[in-house]
Structure 1
């Protein structure tokens, strides 16, 4: 074995091929895939999470084959499972209304007596199961239009290119992720994770915005208001009937009595997952196509590669934060948060292509996906590359990128100081 800077040159112990690897990353062989996944797939998911993950893999692969054979115009058609999912979701909400009605009846009929307790119980139960609309919390770091006009102008331009309405608020947090959701009944919210935003190029950022805003045009029922709130209500039901750990005799009897109800709730949740999995998976593929139209195929594929190494983003943040905390302890307890995001970006920019390729192969072996609502990442990437490359509808020159960076500067500094002070994952 010999070294040159960060590069290690060695021979594969399995097939003898020369291996060139960055010393900071896993040594593996591209020819025979020796040591491509040294940690292995890990323990499989169980329960509902396991069902959702298996559905993601099954539908993701099936839809890849279908979409590969379709032309772009046919990819926008809707599936027939949506109406049934809506019907089940409305039934769940109808049960909540029935509980509220029973509570009101008990309160009126039992006024002044013990019947009031019966009514109040059902009213409280119905209130806890009510459909909850998304709201901004006091801890959210909200950027309004007056705070970041250039950022909003970029989001507006991407939304117009996608043929949809723009967002009403932008929240910036420290997750290596991004998302869109409805805010209340009519407003739209975009959440940008600063660690992900910082490590993307300008066109990859536009692709990210295109992907997220593309969800508003796809009719993803799982995350819509009706089905999404029904799933949250069912999760609350499941919480109420969960078995008591280390039960006494009475609790053991209660646990046993709740088994049928618990199985029924889990069956309804699994059915909703089954009905919405296909449209959700399809929506992700279509959102990827929207990302390519907005920021170019090259930008969308680059975004996909960055998403494959989100674990490295988190690991690097932890390492940088710990280094700064230790360094600060040696300097009168002052913790240095300067250049935290720049250090993160520099590390991601230095990741060699061999490590990206290893992550892609590991993703293919494990069936990696961002979460249970996403198709396997390697298939999403392949679908983009197999199609006809498309140019960007929206571009960001250096001046525009610098103006957006200036609008985020204060928030970048604040979040850097907070994660160094409190630790990543504690905000």
Structure 2
């Protein structure tokens, strides 16, 4: 609930009435005075030291706003490699080479002058290389893979949206029970996967579903560094190495303990250096990932229309309230028709507070580690850029055919929620 003005409080910069929502510290909705405040009670600590978390939050807030101001007037369809992407790829290649050399060195220690005392060291080097190797990823075991023959209307829509955003169609379309959706490539062959969370799908109106598909399949062409195998080492390898060298407390005493303390000191220093480098690389890569999210949102607007894309983002901003009413209806045994009605009611009741919630998301979700820009900036980006008409129109009749194909999957979700309480 928004209270405006808050006990007669006004902005010290422009004298406008301040607002608040969800018990947040008030800010000015006009000039956004105090919107950049750090509120430790409203967010999880990132580094564990409040003075550091406060400064990194302010830095992340400024970077988010600066990126928004730059991109809102820029061409989001520019997909050329930026400096962050070039550096991320370069460091990833270097790390991959180092791991490959470590594996070769391990093999050499094992087979050279076999058998010899170097075998244990060779096996240790091979084990370390295996631990640091890139992961190819896999489809979540809980996801249900759909068959094109059993869901032709859904696959037809997916194909149309893929064509509208100039993206390749996914190789696998799956469903899960989350209030979300995601797309990516898995396995050595980099199989393209689109996974749709049925609670979210069933709660959204037709054009917002089109926008959702447009956004997710936009990740196949938006150059997101998080989703390429080549850049994965930059996001994971140094963090894994820091965990490996971090010391473990033992029960040693006396002289043994003194020696262990010296070793632990070296380990802690090395672990902190590796973790610091990991943080720097993640921060660098996430800047580019946030730009990729804006591009995916632009493709969502082209597919489903700008109004639907912005409204879809607002739905996920209100995900807690919408998911709650969807689960309430599911526990009552109702399917997607009732989910949509309940979701529309929840959105209508939150309409008055939505502008403030968009602004507050910029405060709450500013982070150096965030792969997505704050929801409020994302929907504002769509609203302030050139408006797009929908390239794909999903009629109610066509939507009914799609939902009919998914009937047994909806029934499973209803059962799971009902049994799960």
Structure 2 residue 280 is matched with structure 1 residue 271: yes
How big is each residue's C-alpha offset from its partner over 1:310-333, in whole Å with a ceiling of 9 and x where there is no partner?
222444466668xx4xxxxxxxxx
TM-score by length of 1: 0.79
| Residue 217 of structure 2, aligned match among 187, 202, 213 | 213
Equivalent in the alignment of 1:149: 152
Equivalent in the alignment of 2:182: 179
| Residue 101 of structure 1, aligned match among 89, 100, 104 | 104
Deviation, structure 1 residue 122: 1.8
Partners of 2:357 and 2:186 in 1: how far apart? 35
Structure 2 residue 23 is matched with structure 1 residue 38: yes
Partners of 1:346 and 1:255 in 2: how far apart? 59
Deviation, structure 1 residue 247: 6.9
Partners of 1:315 and 1:281 in 2: how far apart? 28
Deviation, structure 1 residue 117: 2.5
Deviation, structure 1 residue 202: 0.9
Q: Summarize the Cα distance change of 1:364–1:85 in structure 2 as closer, same or farther, 3 Å threshold.
A: closer
Structure 2 residue 77 is matched with structure 1 residue 92: no
Secondary structure, aligned partner of 2:220: helix
How big is each residue's C-alpha offset from its partner over 1:351-401, in whole Å with a ceiling of 9 and x where there is no partner?
2211423422422443568x8011122122112111232110011112221
Deviation, structure 1 residue 32: 3.7
| Residue 63 of structure 1, aligned match among 64, 67, 73 | 67
Deviation, structure 1 residue 168: 0.5
Secondary structure, aligned partner of 1:372: coil
| Aligned residue-pair number | 387
Task: Report the more deviating stretch, 135-144 or 197-206.
Answer: 135-144
Partners of 1:313 and 1:241 in 2: how far apart? 44
Q: Summarize the Cα distance change of 1:354–1:166 in structure 2 as closer, same or farther, 3 Å threshold.
A: same
Partners of 1:243 and 1:83 in 2: how far apart? 34
Structure 2 residue 198 is matched with structure 1 residue 194: yes
**Contact 2:183-2:217 at 8 Å conserved across structures:** yes
**Contact 2:4-2:17 at 8 Å conserved across structures:** no
Equivalent in the alignment of 2:28: none
TM-score by length of 2: 0.80
Partners of 1:421 and 1:110 in 2: how far apart? 63
**Contact 1:56-1:277 at 8 Å conserved across structures:** no
Structure 2 residue 299 is matched with structure 1 residue 290: yes
Equivalent in the alignment of 1:258: 267
**Contact 1:56-1:375 at 8 Å conserved across structures:** no
Equivalent in the alignment of 2:33: none
How big is each residue's C-alpha offset from its partner over 1:45-70, in whole Å with a ceiling of 9 and x where there is no partner?
32399698766533331121112333
Equivalent in the alignment of 2:7: 14
Equivalent in the alignment of 2:248: 244
Equivalent in the alignment of 1:349: 344
Secondary structure, aligned partner of 1:165: coil
Equivalent in the alignment of 1:360: 358
Partners of 2:167 and 2:212 in 1: how far apart? 15
Partners of 1:244 and 1:72 in 2: how far apart? 47
Partners of 1:90 and 1:52 in 2: how far apart? 28
**Contact 1:57-1:376 at 8 Å conserved across structures:** no
Equivalent in the alignment of 1:387: 385
Equivalent in the alignment of 1:327: none
Q: Summarize the Cα distance change of 1:144–1:121 in structure 2 as closer, same or farther, 3 Å threshold.
A: farther
Secondary structure, aligned partner of 2:185: strand
Partners of 2:140 and 2:71 in 1: how far apart? 39
Deviation, structure 1 residue 415: 2.8
Q: Summarize the Cα distance change of 1:229–1:417 in structure 2 as closer, same or farther, 3 Å threshold.
A: farther
Secondary structure, aligned partner of 1:301: helix
Equivalent in the alignment of 1:123: 126
Task: Report the more deviating stretch, 224-233 or 301-310.
Answer: 224-233
Unaligned runs of 5+ residues in structure 1 are 1-7, 17-30, 325-336
Partners of 1:110 and 1:419 in 2: how far apart? 62
Task: Report the more deviating stretch, 258-267 or 284-293.
Answer: 258-267
Partners of 2:417 and 2:238 in 1: how far apart? 34
| Residue 165 of structure 2, aligned match among 162, 167, 174 | 162
Q: Summarize the Cα distance change of 1:129–1:174 in structure 2 as closer, same or farther, 3 Å threshold.
A: same
